[in-house]
Amino acid sequence: MRQPALYSRSPRGPAAPDPVLPAADSPPPVSPRSHRRIRLPHWQERHWRWLALAALLLLLAQALWPATAQRKLTQKDIDAAVLRTLETANLPSPAARAAAAVAPSLVRVAGFVTDKDGEEKDHGLGSGVVIVDSGVILTNLHVVAGASRIELTFHDGSRSAALMTGAQIHNDLAVLQAQKLPDDLKAATLRSTAELQPGDGVVAVGFPFGIGPSVSSGVVSGLGRSFRSPEGKQQIGNLIQFDAAANPGNSGGPLVTMDGEVVGIVTAILNPSEQRTFIGIGFAVPIENAAAAVGMHPF
């Protein structure tokens, strides 16, 4: 009987060398697969930089977000913020705010006469204030009395002829009506003098010596004063005395509180010399009397 073959019939190649066993202290062989880069899913591999940046920004926002933003603001927080603003902001002065409030109602008033040769000459220069937005203006009578032509210059630079429609001689007041009005003409806010006291802040606004509009500030010096003109021809009573600088050209302009409300019409200054310059005492007709010249009582 034939013996079974112990080897295949394939041609026998060279004998394989005996395997070499690693030494006991040698490190285990490293599989080539361990050097392969770990691959992320396709969408993560494309956007991993953006994801990392977003995570960093989120951590930074959480670190910097103030604790006050995570709680409801209290009245104390609001008061502190307002106080901090008042301490650091450059706010306009009370006089500047008062002047700005009345500026749209301020008018320059000029009177002219024609001489015997037919030439027109300056007759008077003063100030006025719009008290009705239809173009009703208060000024001093001595500014326009005897003028053959009256010209108004409004806050926007536009000009208009005016007619004198009324007068109150004992208070040296005249009422003018503008013939042409600016589109944005604004009447001044009038305020009763009933609560006016010596020491209250006031602003005189007008065109002293034709320069303006000019602003000066001071206080109410007294109430119920009387004034006699230098020529002694007229005495005016119940006047507001004030120390805001006023000079020729301020006549007819408004005397304004720090709230921007008109309490009087500047009428005269006291100066015992012949220079007619301001030495600290000015007078204004209370607005109640001035409004009566228009036939109205504003209060």
* Rounded CA separation 225/198 (Å): 12
Alpha helices in the chain (DSSP H): 42-64, 75-88, 94-102, 141-144, 287-292
- Given a contact cutoff of 8 angstroms between Cβ atoms, the answer to whether 135 and 181 are in contact is yes
* Rounded CA separation 123/115 (Å): 11
Strands, E, within the chain: which ranges?
106-114, 120-132, 136-140, 149-153, 159-168, 173-178, 201-206, 214-228, 235-242, 254-257, 262-269, 282-286
Q: Pick the closest to residue 207 from 107, 132, 100, 279 (CA basis).
A: 107
Q: Pick the closest to residue 153 from 217, 249, 268, 277 (CA basis).
A: 249
Cis upstream peptide for 213 (omega within 30°): yes
Phi, psi of 42 (to 5 degrees): -55, -45
Q: Pick the closest to residue 150 from 131, 183, 126 (CA basis).
A: 126
Return the active site residues. 142, 172, 251
| Residue 207 amino acid letter | F
